[in-house]
């Protein structure tokens, strides 16, 4: 027998490979109970690996009838098993929340008995939180593939976000490591929830009192580096899922070897592909917030992202014909294509240039990565050099400058841009 | 000329009023605490006058709107004399020229104002994240913090909305004042000589019987959710700087 502390340890440990910890995007208000959701999300602390802790992320149980070789909770794995009761999860969530440790709950589960049985247990937790505890904090719930439509729809009334993990970017890859699963079983719950979100949005136009339904939308996750897909295949899958299911986020999780028996997978002790994971996130951002289309960054000629430089810089070096860009006249959509200038700085530049043409020194102080940007932009006092005709030269000098701060093949969690 | 005010925002705005009345536009707003080092400079004691402060605020709103006016309040919360002076000079400029381009980031004092506000906002966000309540047996949830800037006034509404059904006290130990919420209204509190505010982690006797257990469970969770093979202490420290550890359950 083991105590509650051990149980928490086992079921938090088993849940940590789900990387999503976002608590943003919901608009749930406190209506006479406790809690609300912060539109921008709040990270209450950070683990020693540098990842944000926003939600209490746990499994209902790590018992599982499936045997997916990339998963730590697969049935053939010799690990300690445990299960929470509904009451235990509710009490833990409420007590952590009231002490301001967390923004809410991220609840997932191994599949025990059947999909419906599992989904029903998860549903009981969120229903109890919302109706009995009058809890208005953030709830992220895993939709269990194969669960019935009515259960999924009921759960959707209580949660802020739902997600189903794609796990492996391609069907062929998935067959290698999880022969019992397929992509279709992921698409089904995503479709049910997407349609219901759209239905209720229509209803809301007529009746303002239509209840909230998954207000923070849906997300999914792919494991990177467990199977042999290239970056182009990964981003194609992501792009399709963003479009087909209106996903709010796709997460990329560098595979951490946890299986000594399956020779298809990277061996235990292999470092997780953190730089690659970071480049994929940067690409994801470029597609969603910077107006890039996938084929500009990855295509049949360039199937993998450059690990040494970020994807925007790589694109710029392949397309010198667009540069330099005059920051005093260019539109916002072009300024954000300059390597080293982000959306916030671009907005400031647009504001500031109303009051007079900007010089290099002024733009530098606004907070751009000047050492990258200087090769690609024109300010009022820029002396035009021929530098941008020689992408290789630019690449070398930027990398020389970055060699101190960004270590190639670095073994650690990276930040975006 | 040093203008000595009481440290309140109304006092600060009263300095602006005085500067115009006396045409002393080069004045430097300071609090009493900061005067020792400048014994030989001239100084004038400015008494806080809420009416004058309101007139300044109304005048500012007319020219730069609500949002622009709030920028100056946030900058004031920096508790920093240099930022105070930068804000003061901008307000003086605003009234003398009857205009101010609040988003002219190419103009150094404006850029400085926004950089100062950015720091304030970061600290405000950190307080929403890092405040940890300790429950005592009278059902009061107490948090003690020492923020870099005077940002607690900016987060009390957030905590009121969120923890509407519980009584709480958030106390700024560095500035020695706090806010108490009784389930209805927020009241500013400062210590009487009789009740001294203590570090809530040191309170053994008055704690809720389950408090220690939940603190322990939170530590367990924090450890278990870390992925060892991704360990990166440098990034960890950047997100959770050491000066906040004292009041974070998971880091003590």
* Residue A85 located in a structural domain: yes
Cβ-nearest to B106 among A33, A96, A352: A352
* Paired tokens of B126: 């950190």
Query: Which chain A residue's Cα is nearest to B210?
Result: A95
Mark whether A198 and A73 lie in a shared domain. yes
The answer to whether A274 contacts chain B (CB < 8 Å) is yes
Q: Give me the number of domains chain B comprises.
A: 2
**What local confidence, expressed as pLDDT, does residue A368 receive?**
95
Q: Do the domain assignments include residue A366?
A: yes
Above 70 in pLDDT, residue B200? no
Looking at the fold, whether A60 and A176 belong to one and the same domain comes out as yes
- H, E, C per residue of chain B: CEEEECCCHHHHHHHHHHHHHCCCCCCEEEEHHHHHHHCCCCEEECCCCHHHHHHHHHHHHHHHHHHHHHHHHHHHCCCCHHHHHHHHHHHHHHHHHCCCCCCCCCCHHHHHHHHHHHHHHHHHHHHHHHCCCEEECCCEEEEEECCCCCCHHHHHHHHHHHCCCCEEEEEECCCCEEEEECCCCEEEECCCCCCCCCCHHHCCCCECCCHHHHHHHHHHHHHHCCCHHHCCHHHHHHHCCHHHHHHCHHHC
Task: For B124-182, write each residue's pLDDT tens digit.
Answer: 999 999 999 999 999 999 999 999 999 999 999 999 999 999 999 999 999 999 999 99
Structure tokens at B29: 């707003």
Domain end position, chosen among A171, A201, A218: A218
Domain region containing A382:
320-402
The beta strands (E) that lie in A85-174 are given as: 104-108, 138-142, 161-163
Residue A42 near chain B (CB below 8 Å): yes
> Is B105's CB within 8 Å of A366's CB?
yes
Whether residues B112 and B149 share a domain: the answer is no
A12 assigned to some structural domain: yes
Is some CB atom of chain A closer than 8 A to the CB atom of B125?
yes
Tokens (6 digits) for B50: 């809420």
Q: Which residues of A touch B158 (CB under 8 A)?
A: 38
Write out residues 22-81 of B within 8 Å (CB-CB) of A.
none
B150 and B72: one domain?
no
Domain CATH code at residue A70:
3.20.20
Distance between terminal CA atoms of chain A? 48
Of B106, B134, B218, the CB nearest to A355: B106
Among the partner-chain residues A57, A355, A413, the one whose CB lies closest to the CB of B225 is: A57
Is A29 inside a domain boundary? yes
Question: By the CB < 8 Å criterion, does A397 face chain B?
Answer: no
Question: What number of C-beta contacts closer than 8 Å exist between A and B?
Answer: 163
Domain span at residue B209? 131-251
CB contact under 8 A, A42 and B128: yes
Any chain A CB within 8 A of the CB of B108?
yes
Strands (E), A26-103: 45-46, 52-53, 55-59
For strand B167-172 and strand B177-181, is the pairing parallel, antiparallel, or unpaired? Answer: antiparallel
Q: Do residue A50 and residue B111 have CB atoms under 8 angstroms apart? A: no
How many domains are there within chain A?
Answer: 2
Q: Among B99, B123, B147, where does a domain finish?
A: B123
Verify that B116 and B12 share a domain, yes or no. Answer: yes
> To the nearest whole angstrom, how far is the Cα of A16 from the nearest Cα of chain B?
5
Residue B104 to residue A352, Cβ atoms within 8 A: yes
The pTM of the full predicted model, rounded to 2 decimals, is: 0.91
B24 and B95 share one domain: yes
Please tell me if residue A43 touches chain B, with a CB cutoff of 8 Å.
yes
Q: Residues B87, B147: one domain? A: no
Contact A342, A304 (CB under 8 A): no
φ/ψ of A46, rounded to 5, equals -135, 135
| DSSP state, residue A195 | H
The H-or-E segment that residue A251 falls in is: strand A249-254
Average pLDDT of the residues in B192-208: 63
Verify that B110 and B168 share a domain, yes or no.
no
Nearest to A355 among B104, B143, B161 (CB): B104
Chain B residues within 8 A of A5 when measuring between CB atoms? 216-217, 220
Q: What is the ipTM of this complex?
A: 0.92
pLDDT at site A408: 44
Which of A178, A193, A218 corresponds to the end of one domain? A218
Q: Do A16 and B224 touch (CB under 8 A)?
A: yes
Burial class (CB in 10 A: 0-12, 13-18, 19+), A316: buried
**B contacts of A48 (beta carbons < 8 Å):** 226, 231-233, 236
Nearest CB partner across the interface for B221, out of A8, A134, A415: A8
What does the buried/exposed string (b/e) look like for A335-352 if buried means 16 or more CB atoms within 10 Å of the residue's CB? Answer: bbbbbbbbeebbbbbbbb
Q: Which residue of B has its CA nearest to A359?
A: B106
Task: Answer whether B187 touches A (CB < 8 Å).
Answer: no
Question: Of B123, B147, B165, which residue constitutes the final position of a domain?
Answer: B123
Q: Evaluate whether residue A239 is within a structural domain.
A: no
For chain A, say whether B97 makes contact (Cβ under 8 Å): no
Are residues A280 and A305 in contact, defined by beta-carbon separation less than 8 angstroms? yes
Pair B165, B186 in one domain: yes
| Alpha-carbon span A197 to B50, nearest angstrom | 51
Of A165, A184, A218, the last residue of a domain is A218
How many residues make up chain B in this entry? Answer: 252
| Chain A nearest-CA residue for B134 | A99
Whether residue B161 and residue A30 make contact (CB cut-off 8 A), yes or no, is: yes
One digit per residue, the tens of pLDDT, for chain A of length 417 reads 578 999 999 999 999 988 888 888 888 888 878 998 887 889 999 999 999 999 999 999 999 999 999 999 999 999 999 999 999 999 999 999 999 999 999 999 999 999 999 999 999 999 999 999 999 999 999 999 999 999 999 999 999 999 999 999 999 999 999 988 999 999 999 999 999 999 998 998 888 888 899 999 999 999 999 999 999 999 999 999 999 999 999 999 999 888 778 888 888 888 889 999 999 999 999 999 999 999 999 999 999 999 999 999 999 999 999 999 999 999 999 999 999 999 999 999 999 999 999 999 999 999 999 999 999 999 999 887 655 667 888 888 888 877 655 544 444 555 554
Q: Spell out the SS3 assignment of B23-61.
A: CCCCCEEEEHHHHHHHCCCCEEECCCCHHHHHHHHHHHH
Q: Are B225 and A57 in contact (CB under 8 A)?
A: yes
Q: Is residue A196 part of a domain?
A: yes
Question: Does B226 touch chain A if contact means CB atoms closer than 8 Å?
Answer: yes
SS3 A211: coil
Question: What per-residue confidence (pLDDT) applies to B192?
Answer: 65
Closest partner CB to A33 (pick from B133, B165, B249): B165
CB-CB neighbors (< 8 A) of A2 in chain B = none
Q: Looking at the structure, tell me whether residues A78 and A202 fall in a common domain.
A: yes
- Please give the residue of chain A at the shortest CA–CA distance from B127: A44
Query: Are the Cβ atoms of A348 and B128 closer than 8 angstroms?
Result: no
Are residues A207 and A325 both part of a single domain? no
Say yes or no: B88 contacts chain A, CB-CB below 8 A.
Answer: no
The reply to whether B156 and B175 lie within a common domain is yes
Chosen for mutation from B97, B100, B226 (greatest number of chain A CBs closer than 10 Å) is: B226
Q: Which position has the token pair 């999880």? A: A178
Domain annotation covers residue A363: yes
Same domain, yes or no, for B111 and B167? no
């Amino acid at each position: 027998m083991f105590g509650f502390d051990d149980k928490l340890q086992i079921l938090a440990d088993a849940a940590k490979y789900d990387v999503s910890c976002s608590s943003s995007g919901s608009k749930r208000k406190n209506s006479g109970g406790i809690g609300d959701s912060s539109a921008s999300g709040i990270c209450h602390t950070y683990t020693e690996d540098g990842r944000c802790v926003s939600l209490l992320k746990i499994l209902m149980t790590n018992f599982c009838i499936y045997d997916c070789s990339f998963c730590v909770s697969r049935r053939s794995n010799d690990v300690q098993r445990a299960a929470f009761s509904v009451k235990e999860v509710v009490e833990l969530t409420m007590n952590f929340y009231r002490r301001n440790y967390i923004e809410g709950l991220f609840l997932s589960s191994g599949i025990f008995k059947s999909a419906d049985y599992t989904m029903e247990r998860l549903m009981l937790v969120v229903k109890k939180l919302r109706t009995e505890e009058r809890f208005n904090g953030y709830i992220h719930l895993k939709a269990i593939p194969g669960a019935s439509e009515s259960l999924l729809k009921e759960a959707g009334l209580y949660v802020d976000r739902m997600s189903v993990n794609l796990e492996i970017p391609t069907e062929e890859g998935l067959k290698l490591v999880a022969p019992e699963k397929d992509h279709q079983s992921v698409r089904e719950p995503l479709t049910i929830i997407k349609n219901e979100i759209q239905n209720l949005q229509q209803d809301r136009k007529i009746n303002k009192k239509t209840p909230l339904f998954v207000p923070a939308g849906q997300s999914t996750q792919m494991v990177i580096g467990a199977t042999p897909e290239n970056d182009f295949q990964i981003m194609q899958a992501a792009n399709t899922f963003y479009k087909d299911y209106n996903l709010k986020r796709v997460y990329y999780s560098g595979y951490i070897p946890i299986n000594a028996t399956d020779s298809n997978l990277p061996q235990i002790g292999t470092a997780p592909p953190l730089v690659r994971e970071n480049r994929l996130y940067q690409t994801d951002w470029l597609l969603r917030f910077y107006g890039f289309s996938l084929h500009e960054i990855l295509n049949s000629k360039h199937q993998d992202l450059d690990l040494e430089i970020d994807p925007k810089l790589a694109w710029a070096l392949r397309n010198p014909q667009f540069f330099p860009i005059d920051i005093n006249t260019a539109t916002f959509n072009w300024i954000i294509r300059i390597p080293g200038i982000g959306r916030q700085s671009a907005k400031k530049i647009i504001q500031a240039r109303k009051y007079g043409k900007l010089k290099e020194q002024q733009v530098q102080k606004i907070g751009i990565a000047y050492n990258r940007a200087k090769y690609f932009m024109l300010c009022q006092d820029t002396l035009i050099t021929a530098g941008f005709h020689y992408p290789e030269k630019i690449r070398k000098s930027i990398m020389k400058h970055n060699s101190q701060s960004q270590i190639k093949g670095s073994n650690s969690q990276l930040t975006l841009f | 000329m040093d203008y000595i005010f009481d440290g309140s925002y109304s006092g600060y705005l009263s300095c602006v009023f005085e500067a115009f009345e006396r045409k002393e536009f080069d004045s430097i707003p300071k609090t009493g605490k900061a005067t020792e080092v400048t014994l030989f400079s001239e100084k004038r004691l400015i008494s806080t006058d809420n009416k004058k402060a309101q007139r300044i605020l109304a005048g500012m709103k007319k020219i730069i709107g609500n949002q622009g006016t709030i920028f100056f309040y946030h900058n004031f919360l920096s508790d920093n004399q240099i930022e105070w002076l930068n804000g003061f000079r901008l307000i003086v400029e605003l009234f003398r020229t009857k205009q101010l381009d609040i988003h002219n980031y190419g103009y150094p004092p404006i850029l400085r104002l926004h950089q100062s506000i950015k720091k304030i906002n970061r600290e405000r966000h950190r307080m929403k994240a890092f405040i940890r309540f300790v429950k005592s047996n009278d059902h009061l949830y107490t948090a003690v913090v020492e923020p870099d800037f005077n940002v607690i006034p900016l987060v009390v509404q957030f905590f009121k909305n969120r923890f509407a059904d519980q009584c709480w006290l958030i106390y700024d130990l560095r500035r020695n004042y706090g806010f108490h919420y009784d389930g209805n209204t927020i009241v500013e509190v400062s210590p009487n000589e009789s009740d001294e505010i203590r570090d809530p982690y040191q309170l053994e006797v008055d704690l809720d019987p389950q408090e220690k257990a939940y603190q322990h469970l939170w530590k367990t969770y924090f450890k278990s959710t870390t992925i060892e093979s991704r360990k990166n202490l440098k990034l960890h420290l950047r997100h959770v700087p050491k000066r906040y550890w004292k009041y974070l359950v998971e880091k003590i």
